[in-house]
Amino acid sequence: MEFKLSDRLNLLPPYLFVEIDKAKRIATAEGHDIIDLGIGDPDEPTPREIVDSLYKAAQDSKNHHYPLDQGSSIFRERIAGWYRERFGVILDPEKEILPLIGSKEGISHLPLAFINPGDVSLVPDPCYPPYKGGTILAGGTPYLMPLIEENNFLPDLKRIEKQALKKAKIIYINYPNNPTASVCEKGFFEDVAIFAKKYNLIVASDAAYSEVSFDNYRPASFLKVEGGKEMGAEFHSLSKTCNMTGWRVGFACGNEKIIAGLAKVKSNIDSGVFNAVQMAGVTALDIADKHLGRMNKVYQERRDALVDGLNKLGWVITKPKATFYVWARLPKKHKSSIDFAGMVLDKADIIITPGVGFGESGEGYVRFALTVSKERIIEAVNRLKKVI
C-alpha cells in the first residue's frame, strides 16, 4: 500500500542537521576520529544547580500532572523578572509570556496562528531552517531577504517587493544571528519596528543567542525599542543560555495578542512543558549570569583559537561578537560549500556546516560551531592546514 506525503511536507527540504548527523554516524561507524564543528549543541553539561532543581521538583507529585497550557505562574513571573533585570523590559506574566517546549517549537508554530494559505512570511536568507519550515507547514510562502556581507548581514528592508508586502504577515529577525554570527545595533531594531507598523507585520525576534557574547558586547532586546512590544514577540531558549538543549524549554514574550494566538495553537497540539522542567528553568534564570560568565570566557577562547588559526592559513575572518559560531567565506579556489564541507569531512575528519544549507545566500560560506574543546579546535586547524 502506498501512502503519499502531503504537498506541504514535500515542499520542505531535507532538514540540514539530520543530514549532518547521518554523515557523522557513518564516518564514526567506519572508525574515523571525527571533530564535530557542525551542530550548535553545547558540549559542557547543564549546571549542577539546575539538575538538582529538576530532581527536587520531579519528586513532588504535584508536578506529575498535566502542566497548564499557559505554563507555571512561578516560571512566568521569573521570566518577567529576568526580562526586567536583563533588558529593562516590563512584561505582564499573565498575558505577555508563554513557556515553550524550546524556542524552535514556538517559532515553528507561530505561522499556524497567523498565516493563511497564500500569505507570506519575510524570512532572512541564510537562516535557521524553522522560519521557512513553519511558514510552509502553515500553507504560507517564505519571501527571502538576502543577508549579504556588504550590508553587515542585515536585511535591506527597502528592497522587499511591494507585492510581497501586500501578502506578508510575519517578518523574522534573528540577532545575534545564526548562522552568520552577525549582530545589530539598536537602530536596526527601531527601523524594523517602524517598518512592521507601516505594513501591519508581526515581528518574530529570535533571540536564542542574546546571552552568548564577547568583548564587552551586550545584545539588546527588540521589545525594548519604541513599538517593539506593540508589533512583536521575542523567542528565548535556555538551550544555549544554560547548556540545556536536551531539556526543551524556552519562552516567548511580547504583544499579548501574538502570545494568545500562539498559545491557542499550542493548546491544540501539546500539553505544555513538564512542571519540574519549568522549576529547573527558574533556577536556570537565577544562576544565568554566574554560569554565562564562565561559559562565555570558554567560548571566547575557542573563538580566538579558531579564528586566529584559520587566519594564519590564509582565511580572512573577523572575530564575531556573539553566538558560538564562526561564519567563514570559502577559500578562493572553492565555490561550493557542500563540496568543501564534504572534502573537509573526507580528508580531515571534520564536520562543518555548508552555508547553502541555510539558504541560497549562504552559498560561498561555511559555519563552524565552537562546541568542542579548545584543544580539539587547535587539532582541527592543524588538520585543515593539510587539506586546504
Q: How far apart are CA 170 and CA 330, in angstroms?
A: 32
pLDDT in tens, 126-178: 999 999 999 999 999 999 999 999 999 999 999 999 999 999 999 999 999 99
- The pLDDT of residue 15 is 66
Whether residue 54 has pLDDT greater than 80: yes
Q: Where are the beta strands (DSSP E) in the chain?
A: 35-36, 97-100, 120-125, 141-146, 168-173, 202-206, 232-237, 250-254, 325-329, 350-351, 353-354, 365-369
The pLDDT value given to residue 29: 82
- Higher per-residue pLDDT: 45 or 17: 45
296-320 residue pLDDT tens: 999 999 999 999 999 999 999 999 9
- Would the pLDDT of 24 be above 80? no
Q: Which fold has domain 48-288?
A: Aspartate Aminotransferase; domain 2 (3.40.640)
340-355, pLDDT tens digit by residue?
999 999 999 999 999 9
Q: Has residue 22 got a pLDDT over 90?
A: no
Establish whether domains 7-45+289-385 and 48-288 are of one fold.
Answer: no
Query: Does residue 43 sit in helix, strand or coil?
Result: coil
Q: Under CATH, which number does the domain 7-45+289-385 receive? A: 3.90.1150.10
**Where in the chain are the domains?**
7-45+289-385, 48-288
* Per-residue pLDDT tens over the stretch 183-238: 999 999 999 999 999 999 999 999 999 999 999 999 999 999 999 999 999 999 99
Nearest to 38 by CA among 358, 382, 385: 358
* pLDDT the model gives residue 26: 82
370 pLDDT above the threshold of 80: yes
